Structure 1
Amino acid sequence: MAEVLKFATPEAEPPKALHRAGGFVMTHTAADIQRSVDLIRSIDGPAMTMISGAPGVGKSAALREITRKLGDDAVYVTIAKGEGNPSNVATAILSQWREGDMRGHDLTTIRQAIGRLIGPRRVLMVDEAQFLFQRHKASCTKGAAFDWLRVASEESGFDLVFCGDLTLAQVMTNFAQLQSRMRRPVTIKEVDRADVEALAAANGLEEREIVTALAAVAEKHGGLRNVENVIRNAELFAGGGAVTGLHVKAAIIDLKLAAQDGRQ
Structure 2
Amino acid sequence: MTLAAAMTTVPGSQSVGSLLVVLPALNEADSIGRVVAEVRSREPAADLLVVDDGSIDRTADVARAAGARVMALPFNLGVGGAMRAAYRFAYEEGYSCVVQVDADGQHDPADIGRLRTALTEADVVVGARFAGTGGYVVRGPRRWAMRLLASTLSRLVRTPLTDPTSGFRMVNERALALFAFDFPEEYLGDTVEALVLASRAKLRIAQVPVAMRERTAGTPSQNAFRSCAYLVRVVTAIFLAVARRAPIVRPGSVAEASA
Indicate the TM-score class for this superposition, using the shorter chain for normalisation.
under 0.3
> Larger % of helix: which?
1
Q: TM-score, with normalisation over the residues of structure 2? A: 0.25
Specify which structure has the bigger relative contact order, considering alpha-carbon pairs within 8 angstroms and separated by 6 or more residues.
Answer: 1
Q: TM-score, with normalisation over the residues of structure 1? A: 0.24
Mark the structure with the bigger radius of gyration.
1
> Larger % of strand: which?
2
